[in-house]
Structure 1
Amino acid sequence: MKPFPVLLTFDLDGETAFEEMHPGIPYYVTQGGYGPRKGVYRIMDLLDKYSIKGTFCVVGQTAERYPEAVEEIVSRGHELACHGYTHRGYNALEPKEEKEAIIKSREILEDVYGMPIVGHRTPRWRPSVRTHKNLQELGFTWNSDYMGAEDSFWNTVEGEKSKLLEIPVAYNLDDWTFYFDWGATVAETVDVWEIEFDARYKDRSIYCLTNHPQVTGRPSRLLCLKGIIEYALKYPDVEFMKATDYVEEYWG
């Protein structure tokens, strides 16, 4: 039996997470900028402590504004994945705009990564009806937006099974949901994440955690990430994996 896969994924949005919702309001915009300026480094230091490699889904504009942060992600051995050019959901874009956003963001990241970008997560988890077809045509091997399952599955494109693997996400495994939407405490959050870990470990699906450097990169909230890492490490057959490694080893 293969080890139970744990994927730590991080959406590096920067200011783009707030610029459309709250344009020009420093309270929000500077909160987004905290991610690439401070939070992402704090998260990487924690991952280094446990020799864990993660997957960072980076917005193209954020990579342009903070190239040193993206370069550091790569230099520490983590994976880069596309997260749109802006943080606007693809369901709000025209067909041409969507494809251009995917292509442009990938080109920006590949210039830093030095190898093909094959992973993708739609901004705000809001793909359009065209997204999976676009991703398959552009050579992506995995996407991570849907919540309809605990385990990964092959997406369907135009009624046929595709070669695009969907790595499912979940509201109760997303730091934004707990801290921004629900106003939860660190203790409440880690408690739910541990319970969810137990359940998924039992059914041998996948544990894919979504964190944001502007959220979990804060000192107190980093303790929650530390807590779930140490909790998972108590199990004998757990493997922390980059998303593309998981796709190749478990679904290749």
Structure 2
Amino acid sequence: MTRDLVGYGGKWPDVTWPNGARLAVSVVVNVEEGAEQQVIDGDATSERMGEVISVVPEGRPDPGQAQIFAYGTRAGAWRMADALRRHDIRATLFACGRAAERSAPVLRMLADDGHEVACHGWLWRPHADYDTPEAEGVDLDRAADAIATTVGRRPVGFFCRGAESPWTRALLSERGYLYTSNGFDDDLPYRDGPLLVVPYALDSNDMKFFHPNGFVRARDMTDYVSDALDVLEAEAARGQARMLNIGFHLRIVGRPGRFGAFDGVLADLAARRERIWIATREDIARAWIAAT
């Protein structure tokens, strides 16, 4: 892999988004619950990252950690779906295949509201740890099949936890994917062969509630995202095309104490609706391809 540290080199494509705005915003809701590794589900190990770092010995069942994840689909998803409806915002759902299979009513409810369902791998795991393209391909197909069975449409976008393998993008291209989002290095989409990279962001992401140097109160995230929007709107007003990614998780901002971050960000986006384009990642990818 050759790193590109220059990108557009300060000469960004002159792109106007479909509604005439220069700034596009992608809201992502990750659906991972039931796809995290758990010994009680037959996996070799259990996920350690949650409300606390698990202290259960490696290889032992960890029902408490499993229940922390289950909160997302049992309670958080419904609270968040209501907020998306109230603010009339369509999101992209990064859904793991095993989550789609095991929590089908939840994913179907969200998809029926008009949200895009993209592939987040079979399990919530890095694809960089696959040993062969064949093994990765089997799980990609398994995940896409589970999503198609649940919501009636195969995904055209992909994003995995951590990093892709050396073969991920070739496997995605072979399967007709439109875009991947495992890119953290730009404010705009860019080409990688036949695939479009629609970058993702980890700073404007509620996972920072789970990190000691991250968000603590709900307003920490709303203020942070508002600051990002202000900067990008100012650049857009100077004629520069821009995109912002905002990531959420059912089990994180679905909790009452953090829900204000989700509801507050959506309210802020709705208030700026006439100046920005709020769109799914598929719509952003297709608009970018058409414009460039």
User: 1:244 aligned to 267, 273, 282, which one?
Assistant: 282
User: Where does residue 206 of structure 2 map in the other structure?
Assistant: 175
User: Where does residue 141 of structure 2 map in the other structure?
Assistant: 103
User: Where does residue 190 of structure 1 map in the other structure?
Assistant: 222
Identity %: 20
User: Where does residue 158 of structure 1 map in the other structure?
Assistant: none
Contact 2:89 2:266 in 1 (8 A): no
Does the residue aligned with 2:90 lie in a helix, a strand or coil?
coil
Q: Is the aligned partner of 1:28 residue 2:28?
A: no
User: 1:112, CA displacement in angstroms?
Assistant: 2.3
User: 1:251, CA displacement in angstroms?
Assistant: 2.2
Does the residue aligned with 1:249 lie in a helix, a strand or coil?
helix
Higher helix share: 1
User: Where does residue 159 of structure 1 map in the other structure?
Assistant: none
Contact 1:16 1:32 in 2 (8 A): no
Which shows bigger deviation, 75-84 or 183-192? 183-192
Distance of aligned partners of 1:11 and 1:114 in 2 relative to their CA distance in 1, 3 Å threshold: same
Q: How far apart are the structure 2 equivalents of 1:169 and 1:118? A: 16
Q: Please, what TM-score do these two structures have when normalized by structure 1?
A: 0.90
CA displacement, residues 204-240 of structure 1 (integer Å, 9 cap, x when unaligned) = 3101111111111112322112212222333332121
Q: Please, what TM-score do these two structures have when normalized by structure 2?
A: 0.79
User: 1:116, CA displacement in angstroms?
Assistant: 3.1
Which shows bigger deviation, 178-187 or 74-83? 178-187
Segments of 5+ residues of structure 2 without an aligned counterpart are 1-15, 39-45, 49-59, 236-240
User: Where does residue 9 of structure 1 map in the other structure?
Assistant: 28
User: 1:18, CA displacement in angstroms?
Assistant: 5.5
Q: How far apart are the structure 2 equivalents of 1:13 and 1:147? A: 20
Distance of aligned partners of 1:165 and 1:214 in 2 relative to their CA distance in 1, 3 Å threshold: same
Q: Is the aligned partner of 1:78 residue 2:83?
A: no
Contact 2:25 2:276 in 1 (8 A): yes
Contact 1:150 1:200 in 2 (8 A): no
User: 1:120 aligned to 141, 158, 162, which one?
Assistant: 158
Q: How far apart are the structure 2 equivalents of 1:218 and 1:117? A: 28
> Whose radius of gyration is greater, 1 or 2?
2
Q: Is the aligned partner of 1:226 residue 2:263?
A: yes
Query: Partner amino acid for 2:206?
Result: D
Contact 1:16 1:62 in 2 (8 A): yes
CA displacement, residues 77-128 of structure 1 (integer Å, 9 cap, x when unaligned) = 1111111111121111122221111111001111222233101111x23211
Does the residue aligned with 2:267 lie in a helix, a strand or coil?
helix
Q: How far apart are the structure 2 equivalents of 1:67 and 1:234? A: 33
Segments of 5+ residues of structure 1 without an aligned counterpart are 156-161
User: Where does residue 163 of structure 1 map in the other structure?
Assistant: 194
User: Where does residue 238 of structure 2 map in the other structure?
Assistant: none
Does the residue aligned with 1:233 lie in a helix, a strand or coil?
helix
Query: Partner amino acid for 2:211?
Result: D
Q: How far apart are the structure 1 equivalents of 2:162 and 2:109? A: 26
Q: How far apart are the structure 2 equivalents of 1:29 and 1:200? A: 38
Q: How far apart are the structure 2 equivalents of 1:114 and 1:65? A: 16
Moved segments of 4+, more than 6 Å: none
Q: How far apart are the structure 2 equivalents of 1:40 and 1:119? A: 21
